[in-house]
Amino acid sequence: MKQKLLNNTEAIAIGFMAVLALVTGGWNTIVCAVIAGLLIGLSANQNRDGIIRAGVLGAIASIITAIMGYIFNSWVSTLPGVDNQAPDHLTAYPLILAVVIGTITSLVVAWIHSIHEEARRKQAFLIFMVVCAVIFPFFDQCPTLAWNGPISIANPTVGCTTSKALLWVNAVIVTMIFALQALGLNIVAGYAGLLDLGYVAFFAIGAYTMGFLNSDHLVAQDTFLKTQFGFWLVVWGSAAAAAFFGLLLGAPTLPLRGDYLAIVTLGFGEIIPIAAKNLAEVRIFEPISLFINQLFSKADAQSLDRMQNAEAFLKNTLCLVGCDPTRPFDFTAGTKGISPISPPVFGNILGIPKIYAFVNGDYIPWYFLALVLLAGSAFFIFRLRDSRVGRAWVSMREDELAANAMGIDIVHTKLLAFIIGAMFSGFAGAFYASYVSFIEPGSFAFDISVTVLAMVILGGTGNITGVILGAFITRVVDLVVLERLKQLINGITEKVFFSGIDNPALVQFVQSIADATAYKVMLFGLILVVMMKVRPQGLIPAETAAQKRKA
Amino acid sequence: MERALNSPVPLSKRFWPVFRTIAIVYVILLLGQQAGLEPGRIVREMTDNPVIIVQQLIVGLANAAIITIVALGYTMVYGIVESINFAHSSVFMLTTFVALLTMSWLVNAETKAPLWVAIVAFIPAMAAGGLINGLVERYAYRSLRKNAKIVGLIAGLGMDFVLQNIGLQIGAFGKLPNAYPNVEGIKFLKILGNQNASPKSFPAVNEFFSGPGIPVNVLEFIDPHATLRITPADLLVIITAVVLVFALNWFVKNTRSGKAMRAVAQNPAAASMMGIDVDRIINLTYVIGGALAGAAAVMFGVYNGTTSSSIGATTGLNSFTAAVLGGVGNIQGAALGAVFIGLLSSLSDQFISSRWTNAWVFMTLVLVMLIKPTGILGTEGGEKA
């Protein structure tokens, strides 16, 4: 059999990483080379030739990436409007390092891949991934450390002086939050085969629970609960709240046909931001006394402060929540948003002194917290999949009729998947709220549902590794590539095409048509359509029961 | 057996359903007042000024007319392929832009338009709707029809995003006339404004009627001091909807293609054996659905006066709710459901709370699915398109 020069995975890996290096450049070239090397190593054959081939290919890929990085450093970064990360005196080092580290990565991964015993191979992979994940944030800080000058007693404040240099670590933390969501949606869509289009609603519920119970917002309210409950307690509350709403929504609609669920969840996703916007002034009266009172008096319960006979109205009506005539109960703070939401704290509870408190903007501790949460969730879902419930999900997805005949209660099993999925989304929402420290209705728009669905579909429905990979690709495209591409195109249009033309309105028009970030939704839509047509099982497909039996 | 005879149902058990219903209603009233559900105030406002109720009924009917036509697209497609066309709401949104640009072009970017402009705009809008929906069916859905249902749904969703994004980017062309202010041919693009996502105003067809001799209020012909108000736009929208519903009903019942559609809806395999080209008939259904969305777009533009790339979601949810409420796959059912949803939203805007109207429509959808998932006129797996 004639072997092709490159298989699809390798070609895509090299091409994608080369583009990424072209638009980010500088030290990011190393990251791109490492990822390219990683993917090439993964696709290598399980024999000695495979390692050598992977080494050569990895070297080639790293050199291509480095060349792209060089183009960025020497040309792209000079275009107007492009963020330049590479300081002039350091342009050569990252490129050389990229070639070396990229090649080594592909060799190491190919070597791990060549281990024949499956258990040991998996272990080695795990160790490798953990090492990479732990090194990564420190490596990400390299550029800032380097160009602040050498560490000395006179210059001890070495660290991130600009947020620009932390292009990756912030993006990776947000990506991990999204990956957490995608893992949850994977249970709903991948295991149980349900289409949940309002997934962001549960994310919002989790975030608002965190915002409400773990910030000064509740302290400022007129209630007896004048306290912040702390991240570690509220995060479970957020998951529980999201799960409760999942039950409320899923119980009536899950027994119906699948596409009705899609529409109902879509509607729910639209309603939750409306509710978040409008629940800033809450007043609740006892309905019967309210009914009698309103029949005869001209009182709008929601605008008591603008009413003349508010005192008399309040006296006759049994008020339950928000009874102060001048100040109704503020539940979500409306469009203002809740801020600041407290970050997690270790200790400082039950008499234990405060050990460590997270600080917003100090990324590295957050990175490790997110990593631990993501790894824990992935482990939990791995175990869940192999449990009785998990096997029920998989068998239900493959043949609902047969599963039913084997005694699986379809509706209950689906409902359980829906609730657990919602719970994960709420969990992610709680972490997100604490991480960004500010939430408002606008941050829970429909496009989050789209992004998360695209992650699951792209990576591989029903496969945890695939979903995490999908989350990383999608998010990196969203946060880094599109933004950089926009800068690049704008820079080129300004410098090359319109350098001699004095027509600012025309330039503005062309730039808004060629704005890459404006095509984000279209890109994700195309991902969905193309994946469905070409590879509906995703990049890394799930093992079916039949394959498992064979193995 | 004996035990069942000897022990009657205990009192507590007999009253349990009643008690449960009361509890649910009480909780809805308790929480619903935040979303404007205050029965006392509503009853008082209604009795204080009954004319407003009638006025809102007219507004509701006009809304219902638009919802009906969009809902027909959902219901026909669902009837024939048993799957939601997620892209439908975006096709509707795109055709509002087609209607907007056509009208702007015909009146050369003026802010007023005579009635014939609105009527002419039906042609390109319907053609564009049919074309887009037909292409989406041909290239996105057709090859996926034999796969699992979720595959088709996800592809439809993807197409929805693609079309939505196109709608958003059409708005960017409003900046072009600034670059070439002296070129007459592109002047009509000015109607798109300078912001992609901001609402775009249609040329006002209504103002044409306020010319000499033609009152804005049709009722002033009969009674010069009428308190009720029926605008020519109301009439145009309602009449168009009625004509379209009857035309579609006639088409489905009497023409060859219509009969083929019903046959495919009932049993595609048998229809195929009878010599019906199933692919062609399904495509035709999508084309007709898209053309109806185009017609609804002109009605929407004339009636509401603005459009933007985000109108698809609300109209889509309303229309789909109407289709489900009436019984999916049923033309008269869609009209009936639309009347209910239209009246609900206009009355909710006036008496409950305009900010929460979408939430109440959504509540209706969930309740319908809970109580009667087959809809008012639908039967289990029964009558279709």
Give residues 184 to 213 of B whose Cβ lies within 8 Å of A. Answer: 196
Chain A residues closer than 8 Å to B148 by CB:
193
Show the tokens assigned to B197: 């996502």
Distance from the A267 Cα atom to the nearest Cα atom in chain B, whole angstroms: 6
A81-94 b/e (C-beta count within 10 Å ≥ 16 → b):
ebeebbeeebbeeb
Chain B residues closer than 8 Å to A317 by CB:
none
**A132-146, A314-328, B218-232: least confidently modelled range:** A132-146
Interface contact A289, partner B, CB < 8 A:
no
Interface contact B29, partner A, CB < 8 A:
yes
A257-295 b/e (C-beta count within 10 Å ≥ 16 → b):
ebbbbbbbbbbbbbbbbbbbbbbbbbbbbbbeebbebbe
Identify residue A527 by its one-letter amino acid code: I
Helix, coil or strand: residue A347: strand
Contact at CB, A295 and B44, closer than 8 angstroms: yes
Which one-letter DSSP state was computed for residue B380?
T
Residue B314 has pLDDT above 80, yes or no: yes
Q: How sure is the predictor about A109, in pLDDT bands with cuts at 50, 70 and 90?
A: confident
- The pLDDT value given to residue A213: 87
CB burial class (10 A; 0-12, 13-18, 19+) of residue A63?
Answer: middle
Tens of pLDDT, residue by residue over A83-96, are 655 454 455 667 77
Name B87's Cβ contacts closer than 8 Å, sequence gap at least 6: B133, B136, B140, B156, B159, B160, B163
* Cβ atoms B157, A528 nearer than 8 A: yes
Among B31, B135, B139, B150, the strongest candidate for a mutation testing the A interface, having the largest count of A CBs within 10 A, is B150
Tens of pLDDT, residue by residue over A39-89, are 888 777 766 677 888 888 888 888 888 888 888 777 777 777 666 554 544
* Out of A264, A278, A509, closest to residue B356 by CB: A278
Residue A147 has pLDDT above 50, yes or no: no
A237-246 b/e (C-beta count within 10 Å ≥ 16 → b):
bbbebbbebb
* Cβ atoms A455, A182 nearer than 8 A: yes
Contact at CB, A513 and B169, closer than 8 angstroms: yes
Chain A residues closer than 8 Å to B26 by CB:
287
- Closest by Cα among B311, B308, B284 to B70: B311
Q: How sure is the predictor about B8, in pLDDT bands with cuts at 50, 70 and 90?
A: low
Residue B127 has pLDDT above 90, yes or no: yes
Interface contact B25, partner A, CB < 8 A:
no
Chain A residue at shortest CA distance from B30 = A287
Residue B171 has pLDDT above 80, yes or no: yes
Interface contact B26, partner A, CB < 8 A:
yes
* Cβ atoms B293, B73 nearer than 8 A: yes
- The span from the CA of A518 to the CA of A530, in Å, is 20
* Out of A195, A271, A290, closest to residue B154 by CB: A195
Interface contact B166, partner A, CB < 8 A:
yes
Which one-letter DSSP state was computed for residue A336?
G
Helix, coil or strand: residue B231: coil
Helix, coil or strand: residue A342: coil
Give residues 120 to 159 of A whose Cβ lies within 8 Å of B. Answer: none
Residue B90 has pLDDT above 90, yes or no: yes
Tens of pLDDT, residue by residue over A215-251, are 887 777 766 666 777 888 899 999 999 999 999 888 8
Q: Which residue has the tokens 């047509």?
A: A533
Helix, coil or strand: residue A541: coil
**A318-327, B49-58, B83-92: least confidently modelled range:** A318-327
- The pLDDT value given to residue A348: 64
Interface contact B374, partner A, CB < 8 A:
no
Chain A residues closer than 8 Å to B143 by CB:
533
ipTM: 0.85
* Cβ atoms B346, B57 nearer than 8 A: yes
* Cβ atoms B306, B199 nearer than 8 A: yes
Contact at CB, A259 and B33, closer than 8 angstroms: no
Interface contact B74, partner A, CB < 8 A:
no
Helix, coil or strand: residue A44: coil
First to last CA, chain A: 25
Chain A residues closer than 8 Å to B39 by CB:
287, 291, 294
Tens of pLDDT, residue by residue over B255-295, are 999 999 999 988 889 999 999 999 999 999 999 999 999 99
Contact at CB, B140 and A266, closer than 8 angstroms: no
Name A143's Cβ contacts closer than 8 Å, sequence gap at least 6: A26, A27, A85, A86, A87, A90, A165
Interface contact B46, partner A, CB < 8 A:
no
pTM (2 decimals)? 0.85
Distance from the B129 Cα atom to the nearest Cα atom in chain A, whole angstroms: 19
* Out of A274, A453, A519, closest to residue B358 by CB: A274
- Closest by Cα among B122, B121, B299, B112 to B206: B112
Distance from the A498 Cα atom to the nearest Cα atom in chain B, whole angstroms: 13
CA angle B78, B82, B83 (to 5 degrees): 75
Distances, alpha carbon A185 to alpha carbons A174, A252, B60, in Å: 17, 20, 38
* Out of A279, A298, A450, closest to residue B34 by CB: A279
Show the tokens assigned to A462: 């029903």
- Closest by Cα among A5, A29, A26 to A17: A29
CA A70 to chain centre: 31
Chain B residues closer than 8 Å to A509 by CB:
172-173, 175-176, 178-179
- The span from the CA of B248 to the CA of B257, in Å, is 12
Distances, alpha carbon B24 to alpha carbons A42, A388, B27, in Å: 57, 35, 5
Residue A418 has pLDDT above 50, yes or no: yes
* Cβ atoms B301, B96 nearer than 8 A: yes
Interface contact B372, partner A, CB < 8 A:
no
Average pLDDT, chain A: 79
Which one-letter DSSP state was computed for residue A189?
I
CA angle B203, B204, B208 (to 5 degrees): 125
- Closest by Cα among A20, A45, A44, A49 to A33: A20
Contact at CB, A521 and B155, closer than 8 angstroms: no
Nearest 10 degrees: Cα torsion B157, B163, B168, B173:
170
Neighbours of B314 (CB within 10 A): 15
Q: Where are the alpha helices (DSSP H) in A226-304?
A: 231-253, 258-278, 287-296
- The span from the CA of A19 to the CA of A39, in Å, is 15
Give residues 39 to 68 of A whose Cβ lies within 8 Å of B. Answer: none
Residue A33 has pLDDT above 50, yes or no: yes
Contact at CB, B172 and A300, closer than 8 angstroms: no
Q: Where are the alpha helices (DSSP H) in chain B?
A: 2-6, 11-14, 16-32, 39-48, 50-81, 88-106, 115-136, 149-170, 176-179, 232-254, 256-266, 268-273, 278-304, 311-326, 331-347, 357-371
- The pLDDT value given to residue A58: 85
Segments making up each domain of chain B, as ranges = 78-310
Counting one residue from A and one from B, how many pairs have CB atoms under 8 Å apart?
Answer: 183
Pairing between strand A345-349 and A352-357? antiparallel
Q: Which residue has the tokens 């469009």?
A: A335
- The pLDDT value given to residue A544: 60
DSSP characters over B271-298: HHHTT--HHHHHHHHHHHHHHHHHHHHH
**Polymer length of chain B:** 385
Neighbours of A354 (CB within 10 A): 10
- The span from the CA of B372 to the CA of B366, in Å, is 10
Interface contact A279, partner B, CB < 8 A:
yes
* Cβ atoms B333, B72 nearer than 8 A: no
In this prediction, residues A177-201 reach a mean pLDDT of 89
- Closest by Cα among A352, A359, A420 to A392: A420
- The pLDDT value given to residue A480: 77
- The span from the CA of B331 to the CA of A381, in Å, is 46
Which one-letter DSSP state was computed for residue A328?
-
* Cβ atoms A71, A22 nearer than 8 A: yes
Share of chain B above pLDDT 90, in %: 36
DSSP characters over A195-244: --S-HHHHHHHHHHHHHHHSBHHHHHSSSS--S---HHHHHHHHHHHHHH
Contact at CB, B41 and A300, closer than 8 angstroms: yes
Tens of pLDDT, residue by residue over B316-335, are 989 998 998 888 888 888 99
Share of chain A above pLDDT 70, in %: 81
* Cβ atoms A171, A480 nearer than 8 A: yes
